[in-house]
Amino acid sequence: MKQEENMIYFVTGNGYKFNEILDLFSKEHVKYNLKQNNIKTIEIQAINIKEVASFKLNSIKGQIDGTYFVEDAGFFVDTPLNGFPGVYSSYIMKTIGNKGLLRLIDDFENTEAHFTSVIALYFKPHNKNYFFEGKIQGKISRTIRGSGGFGFDPVFLPNVMPSMTFAELTTEEKNSISHRGLAWIKFIRFLKENMN
Ligand code: ITT
């Protein structure tokens, strides 16, 4: 592989996400040289995460010479909020945060929630876009718990480990079950299969 063919850009403003994938690249022996790129992308308010990721990917066209990808995630409170905040997750986190979210569901005994992650990749050798998705199902905690992770992690109880919030897990534990972890694995498998 030539030097520039070996480079892959992750376009994100979120350093936490970047470190997560950097760690996985080294653990999984992915031969690509990963670089964070902070260029401004366009984030539309579509109805699903894949559409948001796809639009974001296309908004980068012509600005990076090479292979690049974005990742978009959303938090959906299916019961009782019918999927809210979903594609509005960033905005809700910035405005009312976890405290505000817990207030919205205060009166409800049963909750159902999930995270979805979509990685959208422009793969230069094929001149084509690819999508990799991951999802995890869980419930909402009554209280804010834990100091790890970011965003809604302190209020999400994954069904596979219902006594812990995401924020109480180590990064490794979270990655092994999370929406993004599952999407990362599919993405890495694709890169390995298509490496020269
Ligand atoms: P980008 O620059 O990559 O877009 P971002 O921080 O804006 O990074 P997203 O749009 O993908 O992140 O995610 C929207 C929001 O959803 C994010 O601000 C968090 O509040 C929440 N979120 C996403 N993934 C999460 C996770 O693994 N744990 C907790 N909250 C998460």
CA of 145 to the centre of ligand 1 (A): 18
Q: What is the pLDDT of residues 179-194, one digit of tens each?
A: 999 999 999 999 999 9
Cβ neighbourhood burial of 112 (10 Å; 0-12, 13-18, 19+): middle
Ligand 1 atom 14 nearest Cα: 90
To test ligand 1's pocket by mutation, which of 150, 172, 179 has the most ligand atoms within 8 angstroms of CB? 150
CA of 2 to the centre of ligand 1 (A): 33
Topology of the domain covering 3-193: Maf protein (3.90.950)
153 annotated active-site: no
Q: What is the pLDDT of residues 82-135, one digit of tens each?
A: 999 999 999 999 999 999 999 999 989 899 999 999 999 999 999 999 999 999
The residues spanned by each domain of the chain are 3-193
20 lines ligand 1 (CB under 6 A): no
14 lines ligand 1 (CB under 6 A): yes
Candidates 165, 183, 152, 139; CA nearest to 86 is: 152
- What pTM was computed for the model? 0.92
Ligand 1 atom nearest to CA at 174: 27
Place of tokens 């639009």: 55
Per the CB < 8 A criterion, the answer to whether 112 and 139 are in contact is: yes
